[in-house]
Amino acid sequence: MNRNKREKEYYSIDVGDSTFMVLKRYQNLRPIGSGAQGIVCSAYDHILERNVAIKKLSRPFQNQTHAKRAYRELVLMKCVNHKNIIGLLNVFTPQKTLEEFQDVYLVMELMDANLCQVIQMELDHERLSYLLYQMLCGIKHLHAAGIIHRDLKPSNIVVKSDCTLKILDFGLARTAATGLLMTPYVVTRYYRAPEVILGMGYQANVDVWSVGCIMAEMVRGSVLFPGTDHIDQWNKVIEQLGTPSQEFLMKLNQSVRTYVENRPRYAGYSFEKLFPDVLFPADSEHNKLKASQARDLLSKMLVIDASKRISVDEALQHAYINVWYDPSEVEAPPPAITDKQLDEREHTVEEWKELIYKEVLDWEERTKNGIIRGQPASIGAVVRDGAHQHPLSTSYSSCNDITSSMSSALTLTGRPPEA
Ligand code: AMP
């Protein structure tokens, strides 16, 4: 495309401390959130005629951590297509050449709020179990594609007022170092499993721990294990759940084991004490039954030793969750991940810049040729769009509208779809 034509397609707008340079099809930008990678805005897409979310990745190749995460996210978002994982609608860069390349914009389906906002609400069993079911469906789909998340948290899970839920990111790369003996830097680790905190080997049910922490927070209204760093995080876990058995300690590497063995010993509390009846709606026989099922599920997810913790499949079959079971959601065919070395890649800043730039061009090429995931672009966009619309969904003009509407819809009027 010639330079002039390309320049005319974009306009620039200040959002908070940042400037967004976006395609003219996207209008009415408003900030709705920010994360480690940058600012996210809502916008109206005049071509798809719907509201979207636009995330700006500023110089994503600037260092190893940013680059790996941005590249991984871009590649995975292009491959994965499941109703409980956020869908990518467009990718673009306003810069015209590799030399000028700076920023990437990801256009996604717009949701109403993140789970941090929902945690403050009083949820009934129907909504709580439906939200958990969808988290588990999304996680199962990622696992089926060989992606183990390891870093699920409420800020990376978004919901709509009709109670539909999507996971926003793909977590830690297999090669990402974590662990007790690592230098702490500012990142939320409240939801990280013991095997991640202690730098042990892990399996798919590492993500079940995070779901357990999120569920506990939704029930309690406050963070279950609010550690200030990895060490404090571990203390919070053992104070409540008790010091793990010798059998577990034997699985730790020597230096971590020495540290863990030298902590004071805790007996922990029963799940009846940790999650007493008053935390659950218990006004009817039905609610009493559901409360005891919910507590049972918590007690099976929040198990320090992963070999004794419930699996994602078992959680999906649990009485509290399986009322929502739909094979088309649970057993959707896994996506094929095109880049097999995704997690192993190590590159210089210049190489990352080129790799990310190529991914953006590849998207532009595929959309231009009408191919999105093997479908003509128009069909791809319409099907994906339609599949996520719900009769209760509304259009919003501001972030406050979203949250206030969200609370009224979720707590008062909205109902999750019938099981
Ligand atoms: P992230 O940069 O992906 O960590 O997102 C930061 C925050 O922006 C999230 O916690 C959400 O509050 C918000 N957000 C991101 N993507 C979306 C989206 N597609 N729909 C609604 N809110 C979003």
Averaged pLDDT in 10-residue chunks for the chain of 419 residues: 70 94 97 90 97 94 87 90 95 95 96 94 94 97 91 95 95 66 65 92 94 97 92 94 95 93 95 96 91 97 97 98 96 81 81 93 82 41 32 30 44 41
> What pLDDT is attached to residue 3?
61
Q: What's the token pair of residue 108? A: 């996604």
Question: Closest Cα to atom 5, ligand 1: which residue?
Answer: 35
Helix axis angle, 64-79 relative to 349-368, nearest 10°? 20
Helical residues (DSSP H) of 221-276, grouped into ranges: 230-241, 246-249, 254-261, 271-274
d(CA 240, CA 173): 29
Q: Identify the residues whose C-beta falls under 6 Å from ligand 1.
A: 32-35, 37, 40, 53, 55, 86, 108-111, 114, 155-156, 158, 168-169
For the whole model, what pTM was predicted?
0.87
> What pLDDT is attached to residue 365?
86
Closest atom of ligand 1 to CA, residue 169: 3
d(CA 107, CA 311): 33
> What pLDDT is attached to residue 176?
63
CB 94 within 8 A of CB 3: no
- Gap from CA of 40 to ligand 1 centroid (Å): 6
Closest atom of ligand 1 to CA, residue 86: 19
Beta strands 375-376 and 371-372, pairing class: antiparallel
Unique residue bearing structure tokens 């079911």: 133
Helical residues (DSSP H) of 9-145, grouped into ranges: 64-79, 115-119, 125-144
Helical residues (DSSP H) of 264-307, grouped into ranges: 271-274, 285-301
The single-letter DSSP state of residue 85 is B
- Gap from CA of 411 to ligand 1 centroid (Å): 22
| Count of other CB atoms within 10 angstroms of residue 325 | 14
> Which of 158, 187, 402, 403, when mutated, tests ligand 1's pocket best, judged by the most ligand atoms within 8 Å of its CB?
158
Q: What's the token pair of residue 60? A: 């994503």
Q: Is 151 a catalytic residue?
A: yes
Any residues with CB less than 8 A from the CB of 173 and at least 6 apart, and which?
68, 69, 72, 342, 343
> What pLDDT is attached to residue 36?
82
d(CA 347, CA 65): 11
> What pLDDT is attached to residue 211?
98
- Please list the helix, strand and coil fractions of the chain in percent, rounded to the nearest 5, in that order: 45, 15, 40
- Gap from CA of 351 to ligand 1 centroid (Å): 28
Active-site position among 45, 151, 169, 207: 151
> Which of 15, 18, 32, when mutated, tests ligand 1's pocket best, judged by the most ligand atoms within 8 Å of its CB?
32
